[in-house]
Amino acid sequence: MGLFDRHAGLLEAYRDVRTTGYDPFQIRMERVLSPTEAIINGRKTLLVGTNNYFGLTFDPSCMEAAIEAIRAEGTGTTGSRIANGSYSEHMALEQEIAEFYGKKHCMVFTTGYQANLGIISTLAGEGDQLLIDADSHASIYDACKMTQAEVVRFKHNDPSSLEARLRRLGDRPGNRVVVLEGIYSMLGDTAPLREFVDVCKKYNAYVLIDEAHSLGALGETGRGLCESTGVIDDCHFIVGTFSKTLGAIGGYCVSDDPDFDILRVTVRSYMFTASLPPSIVASVRQALKVVKAKPELRKQLWDNVATLYDGLAAQGFKLGPEHGPVVGVHLPDRMVAIGFWRAMLDAGIYVNVAVPPATPNGVSLLRCSVCAVHTPEQLNHMVEVMTGIGRQLGVIDDRTRRVIGGAR
Amino acid sequence: MIVENDGIADTLELRRESTLARGEVMGEICHHLAPFQVGEKPVAGDTVIAKDLTIDSLAIMDMVMELEDRFDVSIPMNVVAEIHTVDQLADTILKLHARR
Ligand SMILES: Cc1ncc(COP(=O)(O)O)c(C=O)c1O
């Protein structure tokens, strides 16, 4: 068996995808113009698939902070957090995030992926039990491959499914760690967090929640689902990323656990990689200030979500179950999804396409992510374009507005 | 399709704790796997799940979740990773069920 033979199935699927002309996994952003526009294939394109929920990538105050930091401290730290890579600014950022959540401790990582990978695989060790939602992000699944703990999946967003698995553990020794996400990245649905927390309390399990897609978007001050559902104090570990709402890169984990800092010398994805460059730390610190100072961005985001979601729903598209900064559009199969995606790109609109095996339940999706600084005109135009393509491809019906394609 | 295989050894091992019959477990597994059958060859005890059928790894894990709830056992992911055949899956479920 050759090195690449094991990927034969994937190669074939990938080849199918590429027969449509463009390769969705090798799109080139020839020039990014703003949080909502870029040049792709030589044409000005509306961006509705960038996770840039507040549009902060071009926020002048964040850009200035980054530029200033480069001038003051250089382009990179060239070292790990536990060696030469912890600057005053890293520490200050950690303190600011901890304060933002009202938690005692915070660790900043170089990416959110590494935060999940390291924290989850280290928190639950030999003899412990890790219980994860079936639709968890790849970083959580990869953590499960690294841990010595026993890993069990429960049904997506189903507290009774979690409860059955905790109950089955009975009085077996070991810590139980339950891993949830605030907003799920494919369909934009939120976890029933209060119900989950109740179950976890009943069975004495720790709660870790990844607020990657909900930071900024949910909660009165933008702390995520843990805030909007009023259970921050019951979430023992909150993980998040700087690569979405905060417009940069990096990850974090906050906690009140008095011994949390021991993780700084045990979590390998924290110890054995270089720390964030000063420019990123500076722009993230500023972005966090913007999130606090401009709650109107959150309102703008949700207004835009309503425009896109309700607009598409009215045309008969089958969408994720609720309003969210991620709007997932169900399509009947992989080839329709790719064809639809390509037609949109030809019409000057970029979204993400998500197809099996990267999606839950084998669904094929267009994954749209909304930005606070999209204009209503841009989003109405998008609904119009999608309606035209949807009718042409027979995904939505012309008159009855009944859903034809897609199933969950 | 349903594979009856109430081996004596199994019966002896299980009589003490549990009334779950191997046939019932095999029947349930085969029911879940039937849609992924290739050609006329029915799903049997020696079917290698990930290789002889068209089921992908995610669907296998989802099937395991259904079986867990059907038989009220939890099969950890690292255990699932070691299971190759239908027989092994059934044995695992019976073993975990007996241990409850
Ligand atoms: C739920 C979830 N967690 C973690 C991550 C990883 O974030 P990062 O881009 O910071 O590595 C992502 C982003 O893909 C995500 O969707």
Q: What is the pLDDT of residue A140?
A: 98
Find the Cα–Cα–Cα–Cα dihedral B83, B86, B90, B92, rounded to 10°: -10
Q: Give me the helix-helix angle, B22-33 and B57-71, nearest 10°.
A: 150
Are A279 and A343 part of one and the same domain? no
With beta carbons under 8 A apart, name residues in chain B contacting A155: 65
Q: Give me the helix-helix angle, A376-392 and A296-314, nearest 10°.
A: 20
pLDDT tops 90 at residue B3: no
Are A309 and A267 part of one and the same domain? no
Distance, CA of A107 to CA of A102 (rounded, Å)? 14
3-class DSSP assignment, residue A179:
strand
Are A218 and A159 part of one and the same domain? yes
Are A73 and A210 part of one and the same domain? yes
Find the domain containing A222 and state its range. Answer: 58-293
Q: Which residues line ligand 1 (CB under 6 A)?
A: A 111-113, 116, 137, 139, 181, 185, 210, 212-213, 241, 243, 251
Most informative mutation of A50, A113, A132 for ligand 1 (most atoms within 8 A of CB): A113
| Residue of A6, A158, A168, A169 to mutate, testing the B interface (most B Cβ within 10 Å of its Cβ) | A168
Atom 7 of ligand 1, residue of closest alpha carbon: A112
Residue A323 placed within a domain: yes
Residue A22 placed within a domain: yes
Cβ-defined contact of B72 to A168 (cutoff 8 Å): yes
- Pick the last residue of a domain from A293, A328, A344: A293
Of A152, A356, A361, the CB nearest to B74: A152
Phi-psi region of A106 (alpha: psi -120 to 50; beta: other; left: phi over 0): beta
Give B2's pLDDT tier (boundaries 50, 70, 90): very low
Distance, CA of A312 to CA of A381 (rounded, Å)? 11
Give pLDDT tens digits for B5-38. Answer: 444 444 444 444 457 899 999 999 999 999 999 9
Are A397 and A263 part of one and the same domain? no
Q: What is the pLDDT of residue A398?
A: 75
Please say whether the beta carbons of A110 and A251 come within 8 A.
yes
- Residue ranges of the alpha helices (H) in B1-100? 8-15, 22-33, 49-52, 57-71, 77-82, 86-98
Residue A142 placed within a domain: yes
Tell me, rounded to whole angstroms, the distance of Cα B34 from its chain centroid: 13
What is the amino acid identity at position A145? K
Cβ-defined contact of A168 to B65 (cutoff 8 Å): no
Are A173 and A316 part of one and the same domain? no
A61 is catalytic: no
Residue A371 placed within a domain: yes
Strand boundaries in A75-224, DSSP class E:
105-109, 129-133, 150-154, 176-181, 206-210
Task: Extract the residue ranges of chain A whose pLDDT is less than 70.
Answer: 20-21, 399-408
Atom 16 of ligand 1, residue of closest alpha carbon: A185
Q: What is the pLDDT of residue A3?
A: 81
Are A242 and A260 part of one and the same domain? yes
Most informative mutation of A137, A184, A189, A246 for ligand 1 (most atoms within 8 A of CB): A137
Are A86 and A152 part of one and the same domain? yes
Cβ-defined contact of A357 to B73 (cutoff 8 Å): no
- Pick the last residue of a domain from A258, A293, A328: A293
Distance, CA of A74 to CA of A67 (rounded, Å)? 10
Tell me, rounded to whole angstroms, the distance of Cα B99 from its chain centroid: 16
| Residue of A10, A129, A152, A155 to mutate, testing the B interface (most B Cβ within 10 Å of its Cβ) | A152
Give pLDDT tens digits for A198-248. Answer: 999 999 999 999 999 999 999 999 999 999 999 999 999 999 999 999 999
Are A248 and A338 part of one and the same domain? no
Question: Separation of A113 CA from ligand 1 center, angstroms?
Answer: 5
Are A264 and A309 part of one and the same domain? no
Q: What is the pLDDT of residue B19?
A: 74
Q: What is the pLDDT of residue B11?
A: 47
Work out how many domains chain A is built from and give that number.
Answer: 2
Q: What is the pLDDT of residue A252?
A: 98
Residue A274 placed within a domain: yes
- Return the structure tokens found at A43: 């044409």
Q: What is the pLDDT of residue A7?
A: 81
Residue A332 placed within a domain: yes
**Global pTM value:** 0.92
pLDDT tops 60 at residue B64: yes
CATH of the domain at A377: 3.90.1150.10
Work out how many domains chain B is built from and give that number.
Answer: 1
| Residue A355: partners with Cβ closer than 8 Å, 6 or more residues away | A13, A17, A334, A337, A338, A364, A365
Residue A10 placed within a domain: no
Are A308 and A333 part of one and the same domain? yes
A318 is catalytic: no
Most confident of A222-226, B18-22, B40-44, B95-99: A222-226
Cβ-defined contact of A357 to B61 (cutoff 8 Å): no
Minimal CA–CA distance to A168: which of B72, B79, B84, B24?
B72
CATH of the domain at B65: 1.10.1200.10
- Supply the ipTM of this predicted assembly: 0.86
Distance, CA of A258 to CA of B6 (rounded, Å)? 54
In Å, the largest CA–CA distance within chain A is 65
Q: What is the pLDDT of residue A407?
A: 43
CB atoms closer than 10 angstroms to residue A4 = 9
Are A35 and A65 part of one and the same domain? no
Percent of chain B exceeding pLDDT 70 equals 82
Q: What is the mean pLDDT of chain B?
A: 85
* Choice among A121, A136, A185, A369 that is catalytic: A185
A88 is catalytic: no
* Choice among A244, A323, A330, A374 that is catalytic: A244
* CA-based nearest distance A21→chain B, Å: 27
Of B65, B73, B76, the CB nearest to A150: B76
DSSP-derived secondary structure letter, A168: H
Q: What is the pLDDT of residue A99?
A: 98
- Pick the last residue of a domain from A293, A328, A354: A293
3-class DSSP assignment, residue B80:
helix
Find the domain containing B52 and state its range. Answer: 2-99
- Return the structure tokens found at A327: 């709007």
Mean pLDDT of B77-91: 96
- Return the structure tokens found at A358: 């990267």
Cβ-defined contact of A151 to B77 (cutoff 8 Å): yes
